[in-house]
Structure 1
Amino acid sequence: MGKLKTGRSNLVQSIIKGLNILELLDREGALSIAEISEGLQLQKSTVHRLVSTLKHKGYVLQDPVTLKYRNSFKLFEMGNNTVERLGLRREAQAFLEELNVKTKETVNLAILDGFHIIYIDKIESPETIRIGLNIGKRLPAYCTGLGKVLLAYLKKEKLNKLLQEHPLKRYTKNTICDKDELIKHLEQVRKQGYSIDNEEYIDGLKCIAAPVMNYKGEVVAAVSIAIPSIRYGDGGQKIQVMIDQLKQTAGNISERLGWNSNVDF
Structure 2
Amino acid sequence: MAEYSSLAAVERTFVIIKTLVGKVNGLSVSKLVEETGISKSIVSRILKTLKDNHYVEQDPDTRFYRLSYDFIGLSLKHFNALGIDGLFLPALRTISAEVKELVQLSVVSQEKVYFVQKIEGDNQLKVADMLGKEAPLHCSAAGKMWLSTLPQEEIIRLVSQHGMSRYTENTITDLNELLKELEKIKQLDYALSLEEFNHGITGVAVPVYSNAKERQLMASIVITAPTVRMSEQKIKQIVQTCNASIGPLKDQLPTIE
State the 1:215 CA deviation: 5.4
Equivalenced residues, count: 252
- For residues 57-102 of structure 1, the C-alpha deviation after alignment (integer angstroms, 9 at most, x for no partner) is 2221101122111112344333333332332222111111111111
1:78 corresponds to 2:92: no
Q: Is the 8 A contact 2:136 2:143 kept in 1?
A: yes
Deviates more, 1:23-32 or 1:58-67: 23-32
Q: Identify the match of residue 222 of structure 2 among 207, 219, 224.
A: 224
Q: Is the 8 A contact 1:174 1:199 kept in 2?
A: yes
Structure 1: gaps of 5 or more residues: 6-10, 260-265
Q: Is the 8 A contact 2:170 2:195 kept in 1?
A: yes
The match for 2:206 is: 210
The match for 1:54 is: 50
The match for 2:123 is: 127
Q: Is the 8 A contact 1:210 1:250 kept in 2?
A: no
Runs of at least 4 residues off by over 4 Å: none
The match for 2:8 is: 13
The match for 2:95 is: 99
Q: TM-score with structure 1 length normalisation? A: 0.85
Q: Distance in 2 between matches of 1:146 and 1:38?
A: 31
1:172 corresponds to 2:168: yes
State the 1:115 CA deviation: 4.9
The match for 1:8 is: none
Q: TM-score with structure 2 length normalisation? A: 0.87
Q: Distance in 2 between matches of 1:250 and 1:151?
A: 20
Q: Is the 8 A contact 2:83 2:254 kept in 1?
A: no
Deviates more, 1:216-225 or 1:140-149: 216-225
Residue 76 of structure 1 aligns to a residue in which SS? helix
State the 1:196 CA deviation: 0.8
State the 1:228 CA deviation: 1.1
Q: Identify the match of residue 35 of structure 2 among 19, 34, 39.
A: 39
Q: Is the 8 A contact 1:95 1:252 kept in 2?
A: no
**For the structure 1 residues 250 and 239, does the alpha-carbon distance in structure 2 shift closer, same or farther, using more than 3 Å as the test?**
same
**For the structure 1 residues 132 and 24, does the alpha-carbon distance in structure 2 shift closer, same or farther, using more than 3 Å as the test?**
same
1:161 corresponds to 2:157: yes
Q: Distance in 1 between matches of 2:107 and 2:89?
A: 15
State the 1:146 CA deviation: 1.4
State the 1:186 CA deviation: 1.1
- For residues 127-172 of structure 1, the C-alpha deviation after alignment (integer angstroms, 9 at most, x for no partner) is 2101141431222122111121122112444323212322110111
Q: Is the 8 A contact 1:142 1:148 kept in 2?
A: yes
- For residues 177-219 of structure 1, the C-alpha deviation after alignment (integer angstroms, 9 at most, x for no partner) is 1112112211211221101110111111101111111257521
Q: Distance in 2 between matches of 1:88 and 1:27?
A: 22
Q: Which amino acid aligns with 1:123?
A: I
